[in-house]
Amino acid sequence: MQKLLVFQSLWGMERLKDRASGLSPAAAIAAVAAAGFDGVTHHFEDAAVVAPLAALRAEHGLGAEGQCFPASIEALKPAVELASRYGAHHLTIQADVRPRTFSESVRILEGWLRIAEQSAVPVYLETHRGRLNNDMLVMLDLLGAVPNLRLLADLSHYVVAREFPLPPLPGEIETQVQTILNRSWAAHGRVASPGQVQVEISFPQHQPMLAQFCAWWTYLMRSWKARAGEDEQFCFTCELGPAPYAISGPDGQDQTDRWSEALQLRAIARQCWAAA
């Protein structure tokens, strides 16, 4: 039976509101496990970091999404090796390279796909600002040029980077987003507005954007269910990051408790899965 897994980003556990000091990795993982998440998302680039976190995860029965930031084709290899060795659910690439030509972008993506063929776990390219695939229209062209490319959808980046209008969206944009989602195999969850990559999901003025993201997540999950095998797992990561992703007030504190909102976001993801 297909299954939804909801992970919590360890980055999202940093600098939580009204906490005098940050959580240690052990404390953060214990909190994630106690709250009933299925796993955590963290960097998979340094064995000295990954190995102890793997031991902590094993104590609590948690899975992992690995993140990496390769700046070249070859730089992906260590992350693939670590994800394979420590049994990540999948590895997510944030492409820390910014080619000025389309052909160079294709060359890099094809190089990463060759390395991904040797991976014991799936490897996805995250839709992200400031990276190789900064622009959604370029990303659409890359999907045409690299047909085997699989994405992890974080639509917040494209909403703010292209300054989407508020809902209801023009049909052209909705079609473009659905094309991205039909090639996506996992998701990072946060809600964006046309001017901010992460807005507070509990504020009433942000409910139209929350509803829009819920519709996208439901569409993605429905699309994934039609493509995936009968025993596969879809991973949704709650990724509410600290400032400058989170909007802070004059005291420098987040305006909401991101941990509480992560729990709300997990419930929303489960509702989207049921609706899909």
pLDDT per residue as tens digits for the range 73-126:
999 999 999 999 999 999 999 999 999 999 999 999 999 999 999 999 999 999
Strand blocks (E) in 100-242: 123-126, 151-153, 184-189, 233-238
Residue with tokens 């000025």: 100
pLDDT per residue as tens digits for the range 177-187:
999 999 999 99
Rounded distance between C-alpha atoms, residue 248 and residue 252, angstroms: 5
**Concatenated DSSP letters of 82-98:** HHHHTT-SEEEE-----
Can you give the pLDDT at residue 36?
98
Asked whether 13 and 28 are in contact (CB, 8 A), the reply is yes
Residue with tokens 């049994």: 87
**Overall average pLDDT of the 34-48 stretch:** 98
Can you give the pLDDT at residue 223?
98
pLDDT per residue as tens digits for the range 229-263:
999 999 999 999 999 999 999 998 999 999 999 99
Would the pTM count as exceeding 0.85?
Answer: yes
Helix (H) or strand (E) holding 214: helix 207-227
